[in-house]
């Protein structure tokens, strides 16, 4: 029955072809996270310095050992930053790689660093610090995107374009108003980011493996040193929780969805058929076969990155959903999802900010499109209610007949002769032509949050003060 040690180490004949050696190599490959968690080196070292400093302050380790540890950790930091650190897969993860190097550098004192902590609270700390920094970066980037939209909205507070529902011409709006719709979306995304920072602003270190520790540690001291508001309150939750990562991913998914809708609109607007915007050369590419083409590749890729971010969110939710408390190794799979989504999100925000700032808006094309498709039909109906006292339902019916007539004559509502309109309803006078232009239509919609240029300017002022 018992196989010799040498046998278990050699590659299995049935399924081991892919592996150079036996099960040990497979275990190493599935177990190691150093390939991706080396990204956490700076956070790991910061956390260890705070922990060692606290241990010495509490008399748990000596001041001399603490000094050696801190000095050694700073040496390792510069080694990694300058590319002079050899990561080893045999040492599994970033925590053990750094600790092993510390032992080589400073000897036995290195062994005292891991007093009163575990890799479980260590990884929870490192990852939280990383996600917190990423959220802070996201907040700044969203502020940049909002600023780009505010500038375009100001420039185009009066530029008329067709507003759509079902992607069918609905009513004229201003391009400034449309831009401000995105400001509202990205403004909500930014406030979600701010809330997420508040949620995760608690320090995990000191929860140890899961139960806390018998050493007289001071978790408030490490929390303060690491820039957290306070320590976490429950050690079991602390090492089990990955909500902060899932919250980041859900915010990334919602923001990505908004970016993707914007990307889709840019793809549509930049077609020769629409011609509402022209993308700068910087954000488009040519075709290798069709010389006339200018493709909105960056917008298309932003649209696609959203799929990837959604995938990461679903992956981590699924990884976590069946895990009993407290830590399980499954949780090691959290990092790649977050790192990948963060990279996609950063790129997507940067690309859309650039596109919004650089694109040329064709106001003449927009205005021409705004006037077609009987976009002022509602204005005619509203005029009949206001000036001729018709109930809205009747006004809607009368307007429908006017639209049908214009359609059969191949003209716009504003081009129908007064006699034709009066044949449909006797109360119509030549004053009606005042509301049938797109400018009049837009200017009349002064309700709070409406599309009138005066309202759009009010919205812009609100967001400028809020930034």
Compute the least distance from the CB of residue 240 to ligand ARG, in Å: 12
Compute the least distance from the CB of residue 172 to ligand ARG, in Å: 55
**221: which residues sit within 8 A by CB, 6+ positions away?**
54, 57
Encoded one letter per residue, x for contact with ligand ARG by CB under 6 A and - for no contact, window 299-328 reads ----------------------------x-
C-beta of 88 vs 372, nearer to ligand ARG:
88
Site for ligand ARG in 326-345 (CB under 6 A): 327, 329, 331-332
C-beta of 119 vs 305, nearer to ligand ARG:
119
Compute the least distance from the CB of residue 54 to ligand ARG, in Å: 21
120 makes contact with ligand ARG (CB under 6 A): yes
With CB under 6 A as the contact rule, the residue among 51, 68, 101, 119 that binds ligand ARG is 119
Sign (positive/negative) of CA torsion 282, 283, 288, 289? negative
Tokens representing 97 are 């790689």
Compute the least distance from the CB of residue 327 to ligand ARG, in Å: 6
With CB under 6 A as the contact rule, the residue among 123, 180, 217, 460 that binds ligand ARG is 123
Applying CB under 6 A, which part among 61-69, 117-125, 254-262, 360-368 lies near ligand ARG?
117-125
φ, ψ dihedrals at 113, nearest 5°: -60, -35
- What CA–CA distances, in Å, run from 268 to 262, 264, 265, 276? 10, 6, 5, 9
Compute the least distance from the CB of residue 92 to ligand ARG, in Å: 6
C-beta of 124 vs 452, nearer to ligand ARG:
124
Q: How many residues bind ligand ARG (CB under 6 A)?
A: 10
Compute the least distance from the CB of residue 334 to ligand ARG, in Å: 7
Cα-only R_g, the chain = 31
C-beta of 208 vs 442, nearer to ligand ARG:
208
C-beta of 319 vs 355, nearer to ligand ARG:
319
C-beta of 31 vs 287, nearer to ligand ARG:
31
353 makes contact with ligand ARG (CB under 6 A): no
Compute the least distance from the CB of residue 346 to ligand ARG, in Å: 23
93 makes contact with ligand ARG (CB under 6 A): yes
C-beta of 328 vs 372, nearer to ligand ARG:
328
C-beta of 116 vs 381, nearer to ligand ARG:
116
Compute the least distance from the CB of residue 460 to ligand ARG, in Å: 46
Judge contact between 180 and 153, C-beta under 8 A: yes
Tokens representing 104 are 């080589």
Kindly list the catalytic residues.
166, 287
* Residue ranges that bind ligand ARG, judged by CB under 6 A: 33, 37, 93, 119-120, 123, 327, 329, 331-332
């Amino acid at each position: 029955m018992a196989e010799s040690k040498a046998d278990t180490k050699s590659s299995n004949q049935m399924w081991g072809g892919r592996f150079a050696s036996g099960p040990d190599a497979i275990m190493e490959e599935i177990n190691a996270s150093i390939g991706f968690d080396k990204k956490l080196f700076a956070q790991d070292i910061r956390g260890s310095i705070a922990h060692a400093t606290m241990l010495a302050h509490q008399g748990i380790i000596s001041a001399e050992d603490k000094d050696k540890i801190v000095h050694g950790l700073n040496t390792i930091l510069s080694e990694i930053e300058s590319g002079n650190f050899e990561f080893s897969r045999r040492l599994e993860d970033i925590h053990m790689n750094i600790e092993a190097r510390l032992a080589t550098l400073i000897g036995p004192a290195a062994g005292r660093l891991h007093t009163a902590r575990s890799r479980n609270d260590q990884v929870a700390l490192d990852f939280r610090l990383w996600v917190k920094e990423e959220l802070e970066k996201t907040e700044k980037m969203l502020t940049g995107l909002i600023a780009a939209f505010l500038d375009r909205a100001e420039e185009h507070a009066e530029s008329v374009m067709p507003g759509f529902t079902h992607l069918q011409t609905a009513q004229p709006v201003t391009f400034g108003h449309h831009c401000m719709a995105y400001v509202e979306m990205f403004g909500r995304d930014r406030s979600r980011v701010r809330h997420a920072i508040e949620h995760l602003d608690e320090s995990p270190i000191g929860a140890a493996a899961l139960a806390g520790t018998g050493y007289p540690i001071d978790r408030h001291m490490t929390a303060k040193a690491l820039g957290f508001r306070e320590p976490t309150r429950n050690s079991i939750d602390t090492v089990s929780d990955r909500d902060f990562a899932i919250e980041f991913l859900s915010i990334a998914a919602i923001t990505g969805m908004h970016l993707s809708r914007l990307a889709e609109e840019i793809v549509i607007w930049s077609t020769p058929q629409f011609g509402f915007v022209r993308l700068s050369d910087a954000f488009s590419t040519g075709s290798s076969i069709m010389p006339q083409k200018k493709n909105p590749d960056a917008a298309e890729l932003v649209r696609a990155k959203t799929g990837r971010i959604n995938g990461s969110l679903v992956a981590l939710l699924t990884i976590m959903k069946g895990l009993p408390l407290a830590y399980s190794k499954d949780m090691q799979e959290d990092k790649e999802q977050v790192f990948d989504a963060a990279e996609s999100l950063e790129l997507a925000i940067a690309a859309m900010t650039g596109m919004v700032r650089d694109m040329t808006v064709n106001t003449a094309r927009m205005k021409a499109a705004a006037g077609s498709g009987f976009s002022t039909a509602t204005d005619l109906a509203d005029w009949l209610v206001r000036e001729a006292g018709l109930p809205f339902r009747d006004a809607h019916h009368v307007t429908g007949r006017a639209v049908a007539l214009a359609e059969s004559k191949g003209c716009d509502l504003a081009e129908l002769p007064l006699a034709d309109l009066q044949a449909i309803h006797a109360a119509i006078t030549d004053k009606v032509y005042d509301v049938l232009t797109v400018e009049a239509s837009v200017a009349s919609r002064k309700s709070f949050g409406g599309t009138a240029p005066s309202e759009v300017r009010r919205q812009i002022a609100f967001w400028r003060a809020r930034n």
